[in-house]
Amino acid sequence: MPLHLSATLRHRIAASDRPLFGGWICSGSPVLAEIMAGSGLDWLMIDMEHGPNSLESVQVLLQVTAAYPVTTVVRVPANDAVWIKRVLDVGAQTIMVPMVSTAEQAAEAVAHASYPPRGHRGVGNALARSGRWNRVADYLANAAEYTSVIVQIETAEGVENAEAIAGTPGVDGVLIGPSDLAASMGLIGQQTHPDVVSAVERAFAGVRAAGRPVGVNAFAESAAKGYAAAGAEFLLVGADVSLVARGAESLARTFLPAADPTPHPSS
């Protein structure tokens, strides 16, 4: 089975003349993943940081979404060599690494994802889905082309270091996370606060100065459109669990006007 360069987010961005809009897969459900994959969105992010996705479920979700013309990214739980190696080995072609605040941390992420001499990723392609069990003859020689590393800036420190982070060799793009950024600025839960928006746009400028694509997480429609107009090239604009939660609440309000979505005390 061949691997396609267009499957990486880096190549998808380069081929597009507009911002790419995507959604989170947080539930771990292959059914919801397939529904999201067939929705018409440009890309999906399988989340291992905040969602219940295991290594086994990530492989299933990659297999399910592969049937659709959507680019799939896996966010690893941490900037960790073992997690990154294993996620790549189950077939992720683009990984996203959270909480990168310095160029040194960005360089670590690249090293974890790269074979020698650039990095120290363990060689297991003959045993793993990454190289299709040694059926992709050039996987070892061209792994850097078949994979992409996206890092996340989520702190005020990261905003100040945005250009250096983005300019780190091997970093293929940077996604800004306004929620954790707001928390680091003492504005937790206020990701659309003017100071947070300003910090996000400063990070945009730094990433663009380094010549790398920049993205952002923005579930509010007005925020997403504003960031797209400000130069975001790839955006996360919704999540499977949020879409189901809000849809179910809307259904309840339609038929049970007094419905209260407050969690039951035993939950």
Active-site residue numbers? 50
3-state SS, 54-67, equals CHHHHHHHHHHHCC
Angstrom distances, CA of residue 19 to CA of 35, 52, 97, 196, 214: 22, 29, 21, 21, 10
Give rounded-to-5 percent helix, strand, coil for the chain: 45, 15, 40
CA nearest to 166, candidates 112, 217, 120, 101? 101
Alpha carbon dihedral 253, 255, 260, 266, in 10-degree steps, equals -130
Burial class (CB in 10 A: 0-12, 13-18, 19+), 68: middle
CA nearest to 96, candidates 177, 178, 208, 14? 177
* DSSP state at residue 25: E
Helical residues (DSSP H) of 68-151, grouped into ranges: 81-89, 103-113, 139-146
Amino acid letter, 240: D
* DSSP state at residue 22: E
Angstrom distances, CA of residue 111 to CA of 19, 51, 117, 122, 144: 28, 25, 9, 11, 11
